[in-house]
Amino acid sequence: MVPDWPVVLYSRENSSGTYAYFKEHVLKKADFVAEAQSLPGTAAVMYAVSHDRYGIGYGGVSRGHGVRLVPLVSKTGMDVLPSARSASSGEYPLARPLLVYRTTERGGEVDAFVRWLGERPARALALEAGFFPLEEGT
């Protein structure tokens, strides 16, 4: 039997894109509860959760070391954990892309950088940083 301890909610600060995404897609724009503890980064949230038996928080999967990832229910009704496959297929319901915006000006260093993003060295760096890379050829 689990003791009746209060769950401690850890959140990102409200200036964070992760906070905004979670608020829009999970809370459907409702406010976080007043008891939620706001922390300055995902690493701080994961650290707090990993040291609090009754803590729960959210953040990018690349920072999920030392905590138990909680499966979410996919559109098909199945429990699914975050992975490169479930994120890129859309099966994991909270996957969000990292977008790159560019000017309308063509050529030069900007085009070279955009091309480089799809190459193997860039995908390897993305993996090393904890991101799920673009599929080859995209």
- Of residues 13, 59, 20, the one with CA closest to residue 36: 13
pLDDT for res 136: 56
**Same domain, yes or no, for 64 and 101?**
no
The CATH number covering residue 34 comes to 3.40.190.10
pLDDT for res 5: 87
Domain span at residue 42 reads 8-69
**Same domain, yes or no, for 52 and 15?**
yes
Q: Is residue 84 part of a domain?
A: no
Question: pLDDT tens, 25-66?
Answer: 999 999 999 999 999 998 999 999 999 999 999 988 777 777
Instruction: Identify whether the C-beta of residue 71 lies closer than 8 Å to the C-beta of residue 80.
Output: yes
Q: Is residue 60 part of a domain?
A: yes
Report how many domains make up the chain. Answer: 2
**Same domain, yes or no, for 16 and 58?**
yes
Q: Is residue 129 part of a domain?
A: yes
**Same domain, yes or no, for 65 and 15?**
yes
Q: Is residue 2 part of a domain?
A: no
Question: pLDDT tens, 59-99?
Answer: 887 777 778 888 999 888 999 998 878 888 889 888 887 77
Q: Is residue 29 part of a domain?
A: yes
Q: Is residue 92 part of a domain?
A: no
**Same domain, yes or no, for 51 and 104?**
no
Instruction: Identify whether the C-beta of residue 117 lies closer than 8 Å to the C-beta of residue 135.
Output: no
Q: Is residue 79 part of a domain?
A: no
Indicate whether 135 pLDDT > 80.
Answer: no
Q: Record the pTM.
A: 0.76
Q: Is residue 76 part of a domain?
A: no
pLDDT for res 117: 87
Furthest-apart CA pair in the chain: how many Å? 64
